[in-house]
Amino acid sequence: MTPRVLASRMSCFLAAVILVFSGVVGLAGPASEKAVYDILFVNGKILDGTGNPWSYGDVAVKDGRIAAVGKLRGEAQAAKTIDIKGKILAPGFIDIHTHAYDNVIREDVWTGTDEARFGAPNYVSQGVTTVVSNSCGYGPPDLKLQREVLVRKGTGPNVLLMIGHNAVRRAVMGADHRRPARPEEVEKMAALVRRAMEEGAAGMSSGLEYVPAIWSTKDEIVSLVRELVPFDGVYMAHERSSGLTPMWHVPSRDKPGPPTMIENIQELIEVSEEAGARVVASHIKARGADFWGASGILIRMINEARARGVDIWADAYPYTTSGSDGSAVLLPDWAVGRSPKENLEAVLRDPEKVKALETDIRAAINWRGGAENILVMDYPHSALIGKSLGELARSRGLSAVEMAVRLQLEGFPHRPGGARLRGFSLSEADIEAFYRQPWVATSSDGSIALPGDGPVHARFYGTFPRKIHRYAMERSVLSVENAVRSMTSLPAAICGLRDRGMVREGLRADLVVFDPSTIGDTATFFEPHQYAAGIEFVLVSGTFVVEAGRLTGKRPGTVLTRR
């Protein structure tokens, strides 16, 4: 070995010794300073939101963001360390279709104890950290005031606002809306949509089964949806019909024929193709006993469209009953009017009207899922509550149509139908078929509720835990990993959210910790105001809205914008 080589090796050795003793290498000498975080979850099963299997590890939160993910225990310090052994840590859930803040169009919409609604306790208690509001075409035609109120008051979850097609159509056309819009009216609507997108809206929603959108044309919708494209906005469409007929269809008064749910999906596909936009079939369903099983047709149509490049998605809620099913009226409006019992008695004295009445009641029973799937929820005679229309009819030796008439004649005289009924108009098989599709996100189609409110749909309180418990863990319709994906990274991608929906370093700390052994919905249709079980911690931008299973009442949510 030459003197020069020996000197070089000695120099390297001395440099290494210096590094070791200075603590740079860490083999000896003083330990390096430990990282300091705000919150550190340790020993959890981490589901990252992508559908990947869980992995054991720790998650650190700092300044409202996910600061580190991995094996951090022993290498990090935090102001609060929480051991979540046996629990699952996932991204906060994103509800892609709600009516949570649709009616926030003035400062005093909720005051006093009602102001707690801004915190959306029934949502954050499910693990929901972001909601999309102004769905089904609802909300104000100008989002500025709505956004300002939400920012001032604060919200529990983050909020994405849609601009509602029904709202802008009504603003432009007023009461003269029972017709296709004129070109100049479409341009005025487009200007309102464009302004909303410039101000940060996530996209446009529609309620094509509702007034005044019933009379809109596909061309009108395409023209408005084109306004979303420069902003990478999304169009979320409530269908023109969810079965063989729309909800407003009365056989004795309206012509037979489309639109059906099949025509609705075809129109949505064409809107996406012609406008070049991302679209969502809101709360996709196959409604009515005569339409059960049609999920296969709808799924095939969407898969074929997606295969040729159409940017179409869907969302669905995990219940066999819809919102409008909760106040089902089997008698047509023309037969009950403002004095239901008296009007019905007059109709029954006219043989021709009786024939039309029977036709309409029979169709309504079918549309609500059949006589065995229509339950009495409230009635003057308590012995009938909880029984189905079919069961009551058999007990009296009547047909289901005749029993529906008796409910009005013997029930609440001033209530249309005589009773509060709930129909279960959807098929479990169709729901499972939709949930198997990787392009179907989870949604509640609910709104904000507080214990003590009147009757609401159980989905207001139980949607997300129910899907995980019932459809993933119990029925194995999809894996827990994919159930979580359907409520995290999938809706984030659909809505264009790049800093939420996954457990990744640098993303916002919207997180949920749940116990897989206890998670589930507890709300029922007779007792709906019950918070879900198994949700232990929920963070919105690093702030606890649920801590150790208890609501904190905090409102750290942000009104998110696409700008």
Which tens digit of pLDDT belongs to each residue from 277-287?
999 999 999 99
pLDDT score recorded for residue 107: 87
Please indicate, yes or no, whether residues 227 and 373 belong to a single structural domain of this protein.
no
Residues 129, 95: Cα–Cα separation, whole Å:
8
- Which pair of structure tokens corresponds to residue 208? 């094509």
Task: Kindly state whether residue 40 falls inside one of the protein's structural domains.
Answer: no
Closest CA to 241 of 262, 220, 219, 255: 262
**CB count in 10 Å sphere of residue 80:** 12
3-state secondary structure of 64: coil
Q: Kindly indicate the confidence band of residue 34, based on its pLDDT and cuts at 50, 70 and 90.
A: confident
Please indicate, yes or no, whether residues 344 and 473 belong to a single structural domain of this protein.
no
User: What number of CA atoms fall less than 13 Å from residue 250's CA on the CB side?
Assistant: 12
pLDDT in tens, 174-217: 999 999 999 999 999 999 999 999 999 999 999 999 999 999 99
Task: Kindly state whether residue 8 falls inside one of the protein's structural domains.
Answer: no
Please indicate, yes or no, whether residues 454 and 316 belong to a single structural domain of this protein.
yes
Task: Kindly state whether residue 225 falls inside one of the protein's structural domains.
Answer: yes
Range of the domain at 486: 91-320+426-519+526-556
Task: Kindly state whether residue 83 falls inside one of the protein's structural domains.
Answer: no
pLDDT greater than 70 at residue 268: yes
Element (H, E) at 69: strand 65-70
What percent of the chain shows pLDDT beyond 90?
91
- Rounded to the nearest angstrom, the gap between the alpha carbon of residue 254 and the centroid of all alpha carbons in its chain is 32
Give, as one character, the DSSP assignment of residue 531: P
Greatest CA separation found in the chain?
A: 122
Contact between 417 and 329 under an 8 Å Cβ cutoff? The reply is yes
pLDDT score recorded for residue 42: 96
* Number of domains into which the chain is organized: 2
pLDDT greater than 80 at residue 342: yes
Say which amino acid occupies 287. Answer: R
User: What number of CA atoms fall less than 13 Å from residue 296's CA on the CB side?
Assistant: 4
Q: CB neighbours of 309 closer than 8 A, spacing ≥ 6? A: none
Contact between 423 and 325 under an 8 Å Cβ cutoff? The reply is yes
Q: Which among 377, 398, 422 is the end of a domain?
A: 422
Task: Kindly state whether residue 379 falls inside one of the protein's structural domains.
Answer: yes
Please indicate, yes or no, whether residues 128 and 233 belong to a single structural domain of this protein.
yes
Residues 252, 260: Cα–Cα separation, whole Å:
18
Please indicate, yes or no, whether residues 387 and 498 belong to a single structural domain of this protein.
no
Closest CA to 405 of 395, 391, 419, 394: 419
Residues 140, 164: Cα–Cα separation, whole Å:
7
Residues 159, 521: Cα–Cα separation, whole Å:
23
Please indicate, yes or no, whether residues 202 and 351 belong to a single structural domain of this protein.
no
Q: Kindly indicate the confidence band of residue 150, based on its pLDDT and cuts at 50, 70 and 90.
A: very high
Instruction: Note if the bond before 259 is cis, omega within 30 degrees.
Output: yes
State mean pLDDT over 352-373. 98
Residues 193, 204: Cα–Cα separation, whole Å:
7
State mean pLDDT over 452-476. 97
Please indicate, yes or no, whether residues 414 and 444 belong to a single structural domain of this protein.
no
Burial class (CB in 10 A: 0-12, 13-18, 19+), 491: buried
Strand intervals (E) in 288-354? 312-316
Please indicate, yes or no, whether residues 295 and 373 belong to a single structural domain of this protein.
no
State mean pLDDT over 299-314. 98
Please provide the DSSP assignment of 245-266 as one string.
Answer: S-TT--TTTS-S----HHHHHH
Please indicate, yes or no, whether residues 236 and 355 belong to a single structural domain of this protein.
no
Task: Kindly state whether residue 218 falls inside one of the protein's structural domains.
Answer: yes
pLDDT greater than 50 at residue 16: no
- Which pair of structure tokens corresponds to residue 513? 């910790």
Please indicate, yes or no, whether residues 97 and 223 belong to a single structural domain of this protein.
yes
* Residue 84: C-alpha distances to residues 40, 182, 386, 521, 555 (Å): 10, 60, 41, 21, 24
Closest CA to 238 of 67, 462, 443: 443
Strand 88-91 and strand 511-514: pairing?
antiparallel
The CATH number linked to 490 is: 3.20.20.140
Task: Kindly state whether residue 213 falls inside one of the protein's structural domains.
Answer: yes
Q: Kindly indicate the confidence band of residue 19, based on its pLDDT and cuts at 50, 70 and 90.
A: very low
Q: What is the pTM of this model?
A: 0.93
Task: Kindly state whether residue 551 falls inside one of the protein's structural domains.
Answer: yes
pLDDT greater than 50 at residue 27: no
Instruction: Note if the bond before 351 is cis, omega within 30 degrees.
Output: no
pLDDT greater than 70 at residue 484: yes
pLDDT greater than 90 at residue 12: no
Q: Which among 397, 422, 447 is the end of a domain?
A: 422
Give, as one character, the DSSP assignment of residue 538: E
Contact between 201 and 146 under an 8 Å Cβ cutoff? The reply is no
Please indicate, yes or no, whether residues 262 and 177 belong to a single structural domain of this protein.
yes
Please indicate, yes or no, whether residues 341 and 282 belong to a single structural domain of this protein.
no
Q: Is the dihedral of CA 533, 538, 540, 544 positive or negative?
A: positive
Phi, psi of 272 (to 5 degrees): -65, -45
Q: Which among 422, 453, 469 is the end of a domain?
A: 422
pLDDT in tens, 229-253: 999 999 999 999 999 999 999 999 9
Give, as one character, the DSSP assignment of residue 457: -
Q: Kindly indicate the confidence band of residue 563, based on its pLDDT and cuts at 50, 70 and 90.
A: low
